[in-house]
Structures are given as C-alpha cells and as structure tokens.
Structure 1
Amino acid sequence: MAKKNKGWDYLNSDDINSMSDGSKDDWGYIDSDGSDSFHGGDGSWGYKNADGSGSFYGGTGDSDSVYDEGDDDADGSSLGEALGTIVGAGIVGAMAAGVKATAEEREREAQREAERREQARINSEKRRAWRKSHRKGIAITILIFIFVVLLLIGYYEIQKLIGILWFNDL
C-alpha cells in the first residue's frame, strides 16, 4: 500500500496543530463531534466523519493514494469487512460442498456404469457357455425340425397326386 501522507495523518489525529510543515496552502479543521476535513496544496483532500468513516484522496491522482476509513482502523477490521469475510467464506464453503457433491455423484455414476458393464459381460459369458455346452442338442433339434418340414411337404404332394390319380381312373 502507498505511504500515507500528512493529510491522512491529520485526519486521524486529535491535534489541530498536527500539520507541522507550515505550508500555507494546506488547511484543515476538526469539529467538536470529532469529524474533520483536510485540503492540501498538492490537490489532496479528505474528510472523516464522527463515526470514523471517510475518505482521503491523494493529490497525485494515483489509485494508490486513495485511502478510506479501513486504512486506519485501530482493530484492523470493521463490521462490514467482517461480515463480507463471513459471507465470502460461506459462499466459498457452499461452492466447495457443491463441487464435492457433484464429484461424488459422478463417482457413484461411474461405479454404477462399471457394475452394469461387468454384469453385461458376465451374462454374455453365461450365454456363450450355455450355447457351447448345448451345441449338439441345438443342432439335432434344428435337423429334426427340417426333417419334419420336408415330411409335411412330401405328404402334401402325395395327397395332391392321389387326388389326381383317383379322378383319372373314372
């Protein structure tokens, strides 16, 4: 952080005579309620309210020369900062819990998918083993079926011929 200059020090002091360099371009005042104001010859200015809130803007125009009441808190913290920290930590905790839950759900889904694949592999092996052990029985069943179909076709053809031969004899 940038070094605080005499204007900021003046705003945070209780002594109206704290501007010791004697510059005629700098001026400030302190009210009876504790609020004060400062205007520097370099263009800096600032104010501090009785409750401790306020701002100081350095004359260089750099963002590093902008201060607010958080720069000089005696306890190093304010209620707003503490609340912001708590809310931020809560949001981070909620996001971490969400990420963890998502990761756990993906892990469970991957486990279920692996179990499903393993069960499908086991079932495929069982079907293959059953077909292998019953190969002769399946082949015999198919041959018997073909033989029966051929017998039925032959029977039908013979019946047709009997009918034709019977009408020719008349």
Structure 2
Amino acid sequence: MSNPANPQEAKSIYEFSAKDLKGETVSLEKYKGHVCIVVNVASQCGYTKNNYAELVDLFNEYGESKGLRILAFPCNQFAGEEPGSSEEICQFVSSKNVKFDVFEKVNVNGKDAHPLWVYLKHKQGGTLGNFIKWNFTKFIVDKEGQPVERHGPSTNPKDLVKSLEKYW
C-alpha cells in the first residue's frame, strides 16, 4: 500500500502506511475500529522517561480491555534527541517494556515529513502554527480513523484517559 499523493485529501489514517522497526510496510488499516494515540517519540528527551512509562501503562491497561492502540514514530528533528538506528531504537523500547507499535524514524515537519504526519497536522493544526513543536506531540484518532484531538508534549499520556473515554 502506498501513501496518498496529497495527504491532506485523505479521508482517514487508514489510507496511509509506514515501515515498522524491521523495515516491513504496515498498512494503518490494521487499526480500523480502534482508538489510537499517534505520537512522535525520542529516546533522549526530557519528556522521554515519563512519556514512555505512561504510554506503556496506558497500553497495558487499555490495550486489551478497550482496544487502545499506540503508534509511536521516532523522530530526530528536535535537538537530535533520537539519534539511534532502528536496531538501537528497538533495544531502547524493549528496555522500556514497550508492547505497542513503534515505527521507523520519520520526519514530522518539513518537505520530507511522513505523509501521515502531514495529514495529522492538517486535520488538527497547532496553536502557533501547523507544525509539530517538539517530541511527544500526541494525536488521538477515533475508531473511524479521524484525528479528533491534539495534545502537546507537556500533556502526560495518563491525562488523555478522559479524552480517550469519549471515543471508546
């Protein structure tokens, strides 16, 4: 599956695909019917420890019971805080007991931004502009594949539970 030529015209996240840490192409259709959190992550950010811990807790608590899916996209565009290779990222997330889906490193801003991120920013623009400001920007996507909320890096993942409950 290829990504839409014009991501801003996509009807849902299900029109996109991304490569996982093993380099395999994953159609985001696999998330149909699930509430998702899509987040750009980094292993060396001030937000890393808390965000990874809380994302793991959310997935452990709501992955089975509510069908929550978390799609983590490593990104090195913010102060070089995700310098690792796919193998190094794999080792890092394993050390954090991550069981949710982690994809290959992508750009979330600029002309080389992954098409999914172009779409997310188009559907849920930022406060100061249509760009991602830092690591751990979180998008909630409903069961129909629609980005319905955007939360900044300083929002703790566990603080998303009330929002998530609206879409389960």
Taking CA–CA contacts closer than 8 Å with sequence separation of 6 or more, which of the two structures ends up with the larger relative contact order? 2
TM band (smaller chain): under 0.3
Higher strand share: 2
Whichever of the two has the greater Rg, that structure is 1
